[in-house]
Structure 1
């Protein structure tokens, strides 16, 4: 059945941009502003956290454009790290990517889809148990998320054309829906006092511990609170790099990947900022901070549309998470495929099926994501690796400096915008966030780091020797 030996370059600039934007927008923008507001206590600081997140994301995306133009092939960030620092670093990224980063995201987004679907179809609730043995729980929501993963994996195994149609259509719909929600919210807010009330003492930094109760920070704890707040916003803005994984299927990748990274991250950053302005216009600050189950989007939609607001936001979130998961599934399998081609993963995974896509890699990714759906611990795993995701971004951008020194002969049709200043600022800022998270969020950062380091013995006991032989031969 494996009759195709190379990828088909069938994705244009619009398709690539929709993969960037669609993979970024899931359910986070409707939820994480509540936790951020509790941590920082003011509208100004809430806005600043999202602005900083947007600037960091745009800077990283613009820097990745140089790497994508140098290595316009499948694998993306894995390839960049391997080329800059060697096969061990590339493997550690791929190990973390497969074990948790991508598959955990697929599982989490799948379960989010089922939870919001339960608003419209109560039978899909996670409270409706199919199996409950005390130590093992399996709900209808988990079954729904598994079926979603299986469906999207099957569609993408049929060819890249099918996956790109879903991605482009669903992303355009959810961008239009989000923009419509923002406009309706801002129109509805005209004449009320929430906006002006929320911006009084907007930069008074404090922690909101309960409705009407606050606590002050001492010393450098405020910096830790900023870093902790950015975990949610950074996760909501993550997966923008997924387009680099499918570089082998993009037309004129040396041009279109860099442009899609810029356009996609700019669109999403703008939408996120406008969404938070809408929240501040529609809701009192206390209601943002203490929305039921942190569902700020639901609370805002209820204020805008009344009793039908919950159903409207549920439909929007189902569209959003469906498209987001399609982008994650479509792009993620290409990393495993490229690792296998390099001798760093199971050999059989490094093959394309008759439709010109890595079918085996897609199904392996899908099976592991389904297992994470059943575990019930995917959310915890994701919290553990947010620190690690940021660490790999730092290493990748350091790789730009290293590759300019070690491989100056390589063609660079596109060079990192603002080099060396902007990439250096990103490295410094992201490193500061990582250090603060190590200090103030040790329960999440150290386990994530341990998960990555667990890949070191796996590397040396499995594919490391073969990879080093391949490198020496090359």
Structure 2
């Protein structure tokens, strides 16, 4: 027996845990090394996280208006379709399916496996379990696929199963991060802290060997944009709660509120975590952390030899919970696209547990493919441009919809409108422009993936018209 509609089962706390849990994966434990190499000072390291946090909060507050206007499954895909046209909505949905969500699931899954290897060395990424010449499958990739399959299966059992894992694991990782911050600040090294803040606002390129290079003004802006690739990746997926609007109680109120609360919690934790890094590690050691694992280096100073195990456990909990949120929410976008006849028709069905099971398994298949490709990390760097571009278009859509649908019911209006949304659009435009200028490898691959959706869209529309005529 199939259900014809979703069951509202998530309250405000559940929705907030989905926002925070989908945001916190492995990034906060790792990306500060690359940020530090780009900006080279304590002040600018913290500033990059503050700028990212401001942009994320501003976007989340703006999405509150859209989520109240269109409180149904699909979220950002629906907003773009309503503000612009079905093609723009499809290009987002296509990019989301092809890379944004599925490659993120793969990357988070492999991060889980890599840190599991600290406890169980047999899951190391260096151990090849199958070699087919053109394809080598590591133990870490295999474990990542098993975890993705397990979480997909759990989520096919109903929203309550996914909700339990999400809330439990998110609360656990928030408490763990809070504990790490407290113990880290207690272990503050006065001499390290003072040295790190002596030239806190001198932006420079900091090499792992400790050598530095100065920037011109424009190159410095490019360095900030390059640094923000990591912080934006770590702060992304906050919008996942909008995809499951059909399963949230009182969505007109709770989606907007959960977006604000979730992004605020994570922004504060991310910023203070980086203050803690600066309190215990010299800037050169943050920049040169082995495999960029800054949290491991900090934890070894805080907890001694047990530090590595503590961080490994924290990242395992963090990435497991993060992937549950990504898997749960992502499938709802493909379900809504299928309802619009822009995806495989059967994906638009719900199973007896009132969840889009086939959408979950199709997503699982593509994510597993990205795990095997070994290219998920590169792709995630490359899609920051596309992700921010779509956020920018969506927030611009608020202005368009106020003109197109002036009398539409708006239970909640974008906070700080029009000033804050305009500030976000300008900042996002500058970020994307600087990436095009200084880091083209971060822009064109994601753009190509998005543009490939255009012929797919028109082929799908033509196929649908042919079916109607027949």
Aligned mates of 1:187, 1:253 — CA distance in 2: 41
Partner residue, 1:373: 371
State the distance in 2 between where 1:97 and 1:20 align.
17
Matches within 5 A, 1:382-421: 382-421=380-419
1:215 counterpart SS class: strand
Q: Find out whether 1:361 has 2:362 as its counterpart.
A: no
Q: In the alignment, does 2:48 pair up with 1:60? A: no
Give 3-state SS (helix, strand or coil) of 1:343's partner.
coil
Distance 2:356 2:131 in 1: 36
Q: Distance in 2 between matches of 1:10 and 1:468?
A: 39
- The aligned residue for residue 350 of structure 1 is 348
Q: Deviations over 1:340-366 (max 9, x none)?
A: 001111111000000000011011101
- Residue by residue over 1:101-125, the C-alpha shift from the partner in whole angstroms, topping out at 9 and shown as x without a partner, is 0000000000000000000000010
Residue matched to 2:68: 69
Question: Does structure 2 retain, via aligned residues, the 8 Å contact 1:15–1:164?
Answer: yes
Q: Cα 1:21–1:469, aligned 2, differ >3 Å: closer, same or farther? A: farther
User: Partner of 2:17 in structure 1?
Assistant: 18
Contact 1:63 1:423 in 2 (8 A): yes
Deviation of 1:465 after TM superposition, in Å, equals 6.4
Deviation at 1:462, TM superposition (A): 1.7
Are residue 337 (structure 1) and residue 335 (structure 2) matched?
yes
Please give the alpha-carbon distance, in whole angstroms, between the structure 2 residues aligned to 1:80 and 1:19. 20
CA distance in 2, matches of 1:311, 1:467: 58
Cα distance in 2 between the residues matched to 1:135 and 1:216: 42
CA–CA separation in structure 2 for the residues paired with 1:467 and 1:80: 24
Partner of 2:454: 456
CA shift digits 1:119-176 (9 cap, x unpaired): 0000010111111244211011111000000000000000000000000000000000
Please point out which of 197, 200, 214 is paired with 2:198: 200
Rounded Cα–Cα distance in structure 2 between residues aligned with 1:153 and 1:279? 35
Q: For the structure 1 residues 175 and 464, does the alpha-carbon distance in structure 2 shift closer, same or farther, using more than 3 Å as the test?
A: farther
- Give the Cα–Cα distance (whole angstroms) in 2 for the partners of residues 361 and 443 of structure 1: 31
Contact kept, 8 Å, 1:344 with 1:464, in 2: the verdict is no
Contact 2:41–2:200 under 8 Å retained in 1: yes
CA shift at 1:203, angstroms?
0.4
- Structure 2 partner of 1:266: 264
Give how far 1:468 is off: 12
Counterparts in 2 of 1:39-438, with a 5 A limit? 39-189=38-188, 192-438=190-436
Q: Distance in 1 between matches of 2:348 and 2:404?
A: 28
- Mark the CA change 1:8 to 1:467 in structure 2 (over 3 Å): closer, same or farther: farther
Residue 137 of structure 2 aligns to a residue in which SS? strand
8 A Cα contact 2:233 2:380, kept in partner: no
The ranges of structure 1 where at least 4 consecutive aligned residues each deviate by more than 4 angstroms after the TM superposition are 467-470
Deviations 1:367-421 (A, max 9, x none): 1111111111111222221100000000000000000000112100000000000
Q: Report the counterpart of residue 4 of structure 2 in structure 1.
A: 5
Unaligned runs of 5+ residues in structure 2 are none
TM-score between the two structures when normalised by the length of structure 2: 0.98
| Conserved? CA contact 2:106–2:376, under 8 Å | yes
Offset at residue 216 of structure 1 (A): 1.1
**8 Å contact from structure 1 (residues 26, 321) kept in 2:** yes
Q: CA deviation at 1:464?
A: 5.8
Name structure 1 gaps, 5 residues minimum.
none
What is the DSSP-based 3-state SS (H/G/I as helix, E as strand, rest coil) of the residue aligned with 2:285?
helix
Query: Superposition RMSD on alpha carbons, in Å?
Result: 1.3
Once the two structures are overlaid, the 10-residue window that deviates more, 423-432 or 214-223, is 214-223
CA change 1:310–1:18 in 2 (3 A) is: same
The equivalent of 2:36 in structure 1 is: 37
Q: Equivalent residue of 2:71, what SS?
A: coil
CA positional deviation for 1:436: 0.3
CA distance in 2, matches of 1:267, 1:469: 49
Q: Take 1:427 and 1:66, find their aligned partners in 2: how far apart are those partners?
A: 16
Change beyond 3 A, Cα 1:469–1:432: farther
SS of 2:207's equivalent in the other structure is strand
* Cα separation, 1, equivalents of 2:419 and 2:55: 13
- State the Cα deviation string for residues 286-338 of structure 1 (Å, max 9, x = none): 11111011100000000000001000000000000000000000000000000
Mapped partners of 2:375, 2:244: distance in 1: 29
Structure 2: distance between partners of 1:332 and 1:215: 42
In structure 2, C-alpha distance between the alignment counterparts of 1:192 and 1:222, rounded to whole Å: 29
For residue 246 of structure 1, give the secondary structure of its aligned residue in structure 2.
helix
Separation in structure 1 between the aligned mates of residue 195 and residue 463 of structure 2, nearest angstrom: 63
C-alpha displacement at 1:219, in angstroms? 4.2
Report the 3-state secondary structure (helix = DSSP H, G, I; strand = E; otherwise coil) of the residue aligned with 1:325: helix
